[in-house]
């Protein structure tokens, strides 16, 4: 009987209809409807969920608000960053509800409201008050970032409050999607002041009487501010499996799968703008797992065919081929990294989509003309046999194409390639040299904890700069 009731409860909490999104009415000055996205899913208990996202893009200085049942005072969530998220769950009464709330949610509204900027004029004084003379805060880059960290987009806006004191509004946006935005002061990365996993963090600083900016309730003088963008590595919930034994039935918790085993399948995208001698080639992706349990993807572009060149592109970057092969078939292996994203070996490029281009490199040559033989001239001596002449072999290289993107950021670990074509009069003619050129790039030394340079390279000074050069 217990199992029957549990199954019935699951059927009920999955039966909620899609929730209705309605516009805000009436709208007062400074209000407008935002962009509302509803993504449906299932929680760990098997009940239906609705993830609500209210976004103000491309507008700025907006407060994002989600409220229920057409009542503005019935707030569900609010954020001054311009974006707010909320999850509703279908309960055992087939009603949508917010966590830890008894109220039923029939419909939702995404409302945007302008963030007011204090415009109160300064009181008439003869000399400036100390809290109005703080110098601007320095913006500093992230020092010694890890592989999942980088500089975010930092915006500092200065204004004055009703007392005439300077106020600095710090806004930090993550540089990529699925990243956490973190603000910290005075280079103290291990002491973050504010963070937001939605990718946007904000804080207000006020100029104090000691001519230094401070956060509310803090005694720390702020000299510099840094905006850090940190990739969010998805975590997997523990998997429970039942082991078949006699009696009783035991339940054990299996180890969570590796993050490098969770990469989603790669998207394939056709190239839309093609030249007359170009086509979208046959693209095959074969997935497998290595001995370490990580996913691997073997990319095969085109078929081996004389007179064709196959090229593989990533992420719609059609002007920068990652690899090219003049046999007509290009192959490449991608590895699933610890951030659950696909990358080529020793590359920092996250691969979301792959395109395959096949180029017909057979030169269009004029049909050679053979002069008609003249009738033999009969003389008293031996007859003369006419000679048929054909044009000679001609072949020359075209201009080099642009370099591809470097596959790494430092230490000469990265490499880049460029290609050129051979223009020839016949198939038996060949251009001397190679169709491709490769070199190591980004020679500046890497920061700790990475090794400064690749193997067989060392750090030296060239033109008053430290670079990695080959060991002689």
Q: Is residue 370 part of a domain?
A: no
Give mean pLDDT in consecutive 10-residue pieces for the chain, a chain of 472 residues.
58 88 87 90 88 88 90 87 90 87 89 80 69 92 86 91 91 83 92 86 91 88 93 63 49 63 91 90 90 89 88 82 81 88 78 92 65 56 48 81 89 90 77 86 88 89 84 78
Q: Are residues 350 and 407 both part of a single domain?
A: no
Spatial separation of the C-alpha atoms in residues 332 and 265, rounded to whole Å: 15
> Is the pTM here over 0.75, yes or no?
no
Residue 246: inside a domain: no
272 in the same domain as 189:
no
**Which residue, of 187, 210, 231, is where some domain finishes?**
231
Examine residue 76 and state whether it is found in any structural domain, yes or no: yes
Number of Cα atoms under 13 Å in the Cβ half of residue 239: 9
Tell which of 114, 146, 174 closes a domain. Answer: 114
Q: Which domain holds residue 97?
A: 7-114
Per-residue pLDDT at 310: 87
What is the chain's percent helix, strand, coil content, to nearest 5?
A: 5, 40, 55
- Which of 171, 168, 153, 166 lies closest to 62, judged by CA? 171
Q: Does 382 fall in a domain?
A: no
- The gap between the terminal CA atoms of the chain, to the nearest Å, is 79
Residue 104's domain is classified under what CATH number?
A: 2.60.40
Asked whether residue 387 is assigned to any structural domain, the reply reads no
Assess whether 192 and 271 both reside in one domain.
no
Q: Is 313 a member of any domain?
A: yes
Query: Which pLDDT score is estimated for 162?
Result: 84
Phi-psi domain of 238 (left: phi exceeds 0; alpha: psi -120 through 50; beta: other): beta
Task: Tokens for 340, please give them.
Answer: 């659950």
Residues 207 and 273 in one domain: no
Domain annotation covers residue 369:
no
Within a domain: residue 367? no
| Same domain flag for 214 and 306 | no
Last residue of a domain, one of 215, 231, 247: 231
Same structural domain, 283 and 324: yes
Let me know whether 88 and 15 are in one domain.
yes
Q: What is the number of structural domains in the chain?
A: 4
pLDDT of residue 448: 78
């Amino acid at each position: 009987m217990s199992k029957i009731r549990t199954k019935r409860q699951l059927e009920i909490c999955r039966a909620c209809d899609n929730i209705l999104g309605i516009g805000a009415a009436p709208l007062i000055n400074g209000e407008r409807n935002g962009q509302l996205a509803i993504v449906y899913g299932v929680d760990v208990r098997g009940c239906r969920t609705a993830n609500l996202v209210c976004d103000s893009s491309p507008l700025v200085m907006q407060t994002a608000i989600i409220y229920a049942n057409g009542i503005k005072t019935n707030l569900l969530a609010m954020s001054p960053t311009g974006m707010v998220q909320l999850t509703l769950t279908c309960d055992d009464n087939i009603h949508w509800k917010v966590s830890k709330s008894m109220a039923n949610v029939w419909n939702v509204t995404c409302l945007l409201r302008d963030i007011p900027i204090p415009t109160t004029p300064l009181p008439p004084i003869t000399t400036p008050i100390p809290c109005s003379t703080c110098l601007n805060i320095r913006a500093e880059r992230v020092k010694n970032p890890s592989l999942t960290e980088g500089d975010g987009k930092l915006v500092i806006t200065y204004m004055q409050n009703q007392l005439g004191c300077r106020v600095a509004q710090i806004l930090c946006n993550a540089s990529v999607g699925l990243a956490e935005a973190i603000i910290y002061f005075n280079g103290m990365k291990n002491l973050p002041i504010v963070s937001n996993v939605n990718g946007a963090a904000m804080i207000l600083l006020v100029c104090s009487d000691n001519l230094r900016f401070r956060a509310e309730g803090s005694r720390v003088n702020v000299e510099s501010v840094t905006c850090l963008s940190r990739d969010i590595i998805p975590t997997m919930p523990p998997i429970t499996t039942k082991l078949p034994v006699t009696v009783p039935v035991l339940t054990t918790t299996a180890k969570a799968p590796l993050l490098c085993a969770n990469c989603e399948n790669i998207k394939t995208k056709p190239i839309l703008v093609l030249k007359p001698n170009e086509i979208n080639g046959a693209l095959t992706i074969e997935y497998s797992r290595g001995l370490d349990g990580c996913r691997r993807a073997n990319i095969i572009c085109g078929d081996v065919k004389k007179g064709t060149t196959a090229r593989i592109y990533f992420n719609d970057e059609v002007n920068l081929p990652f690899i090219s092969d003049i046999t007509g078939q290009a192959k490449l292996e991608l590895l699933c990294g610890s951030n659950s994203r696909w990358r080529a070996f020793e590359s920092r490029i996250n691969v979301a989509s792959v395109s395959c281009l096949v180029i017909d490199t057979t030169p269009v040559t004029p049909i050679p003309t053979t002069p008609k033989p003249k009738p033999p001239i009969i003389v008293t001596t031996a007859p003369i046999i006419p000679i048929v002449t054909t044009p000679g072999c001609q072949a020359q290289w075209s201009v080099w194409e642009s370099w591809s993107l470097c596959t790494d950021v430092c230490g000469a670990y990265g490499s880049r390639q460029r290609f050129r074509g051979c223009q020839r009069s016949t198939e038996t003619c060949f251009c001397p040299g190679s169709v491709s050129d490769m070199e190591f790039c980004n020679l500046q030394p890497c920061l700790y904890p990475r090794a400064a340079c690749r193997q067989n390279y060392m750090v030296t000074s060239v033109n008053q700069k430290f670079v990695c050069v080959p060991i002689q």
